Amino acid sequence: MSMKRLYIASLLGALVLHSCMFELAICASNYTDQLALLAFKSSINFDPNNVLSNWTKETNFCDWFGILCSRRRQRVTSLRLRNTGLRGTISPHVGNLSFLQVLDIRNNSFHGHLTVEFERLRRLRKLIVQQNMLEGSIPVELHRCQNLQVISLEGNNFSGNIPKDLGTLPFLRILYLGRNNLQGTIPPFFGNTTSLKEFGVESNNIYGNIPIELSLLPNLSGLYCQYNHLTGSIPRAIFNKSSLILISLNMNAFSGNLPTTTGLWLPNLEILSLADNLLVGEIPSYLSNSTKLTWLLLPRNLFTGPIPKSLGNLNLIERLKLEGNQLTTEPGSTQLSFIIALTNCTSLQKLFVGENKFSGTIPNSIGNFSMSLQVLDVSECQLMGQIPKEIGSLRNLNELSLAGSNLNGNIPSTI
């Protein structure tokens, strides 16, 4: 019995020792988190709303403003200080928060560099630092944070190239790099991030083509590349992707025709913006298959031919901008027949078709436009005849532009 008791006592002692060592390890780790957060606070030189006032050694850091901890280990998993007016730099000690999953400091005034110590945050899922004043290059080392799902760096002063290694992040869903000073090309390696849904590089100095690999991503729903220097043709695959909801490629130098092959389908597309490019050819009729389309923006290109009558099938279209092209009237027609088709667009609010090569009269059916129509611009075209009195039935119309035409007669009293 004595041997058995001795064995049990030894076993209990070992368990107690192991438990104490585990608790000590947790305490040491917790102390590391506390020090990292206090170092983060010390890098803040302006806290106008005193949101960090309870960040003191006398209180449990898991109770500090903006901090969330795991229940079991009491380790920091989330640091959220968005819209708090903070000014300062991001302390490299943030890299010691080894259990951190979310860092969200958007809409503040952080400056300086995005520290390379972020590579140690192997559990990080969301890195959101948009709308600050951060500068320098985007750390290549971020690709070591293999659990990243969201990277939002837009609205800063980052420069240099887009790191191609970001294309190795297997779970990346959202990548926002817009409104910075980035340059170079779009790396084709993003074609490997099959989970990518939102890709934004707008308002930078990006040049070159849109990689075909990017357009083949199976889950891509938002493509934001406006206000850059992109060239070449728009990949055909973009116009046959059921996942796409928004395409914004305006203010670039894309050229060539839009693909005209029948059977292309964008069933979930809501916004298509290709304004201010060098696109030529006819407006594809298959766009009318995008029945969820609310904004179709194609102004200031070199499109030719008539406006497809099939656009009248877009019942949800609110804004249609086709001005500044070389569009013409239907062959053999003496009036703007597209107006007759567009009267079926019951949600239409703004229609811009000025500065084209239309000729002919305005049909009386213009009065059948949706009562939601607020703006109608058919200026700088070769319009003839009189202004139909039916236009006065558009009760919510507050802007009508027919300037630069060959219209005659009196202005209808109904207007």
pLDDT at 15 over 60: no
| Residue that is written with structure tokens 């490019």 in the block | 277
pLDDT at 17 over 70: no
∠295-298-301 over CA atoms, to 5°?
A: 170
| Percent of the chain predicted with pLDDT > 90 | 81
∠196-286-369 over CA atoms, to 5°?
A: 110
For residue 401, the cross-strand partners are: 377
| Residue that is written with structure tokens 């945050």 in the block | 121
Query: In the predicted model, what is the mean pLDDT of residues 236-241?
Result: 93
pLDDT (tens digit per residue) in 30-53: 889 999 999 999 999 999 999 999
Note the pLDDT of residue 73: 86
Q: Taking all residues of the chain, what is their mean pLDDT, rounded to a whole number?
A: 92
With beta carbons less than 8 A apart as the criterion, state whether 370 and 348 touch. yes
Query: What is the identity of the amino acid at 396?
Result: N
**Rounded to an integer, what distance in angstroms lies between the CA atom of residue 16 and that of residue 79?**
34
pLDDT at 230 over 80: yes
Give the pairing of strands 87-89 and 44-46.
Answer: antiparallel
Note the pLDDT of residue 10: 56
Note the pLDDT of residue 143: 95
pLDDT at 4 over 90: no
Q: Against a cut of 0.85, is the pTM above it?
A: yes
C-alpha to C-alpha distances, 403 to 125, 163, 203, 383, 388, nearest whole angstrom: 55, 50, 33, 10, 15
pLDDT (tens digit per residue) in 316-356: 999 999 999 999 999 988 899 999 999 999 999 999 999 99
CATH number of 19-310: 3.80.10.10
**Rounded to an integer, what distance in angstroms lies between the CA atom of residue 220 and that of residue 246?**
10
Q: What is the 3-state secondary structure (H, E, C) of the chain?
A: CHHHHHHHHHHHHHHHHHHHHHHHHHHHHHHHHHHHHHHHHHCEEECCCCCCCCCCCCCCHHHCCCEEECCCCCCEEEEECCCCCCEEECCHHHHHCCCCCEEECCCCEEEEECCHHHHHCCCCCEEECCCCEEEEECCHHHHHCCCCCEEECCCCEEEEECCHHHHHCCCCCEEECCCCEEEECCCHHHHHCCCCCEEECCCCEEEECCCHHHHCCCCCCEEECCCCEEEECCCHHHHHCCCCCEEECCCCEEEEECCCCCCCCCCCCCEEECCCCEEEECCCHHHHHCCCCCEEECCCCEEEECCCHHHHHCCCCCEEECCCCEECCCCCCCECHHHHHHCCCCCCCEEECCCCCCEEECCHHHHHCCCCCCEEECCCCEEECCCCHHHHHCCCCCEEECCCCCCCCCCCCCC
pLDDT (tens digit per residue) in 275-307: 999 999 999 999 999 999 999 999 999 999 999
pLDDT (tens digit per residue) in 94-115: 999 999 999 999 999 999 999 8
Query: In the predicted model, what is the mean pLDDT of residues 263-270?
Result: 89
Note the pLDDT of residue 29: 53
pLDDT at 7 over 60: no
| Residue that is written with structure tokens 């200080």 in the block | 81
Query: What is the identity of the amino acid at 242?
Result: S
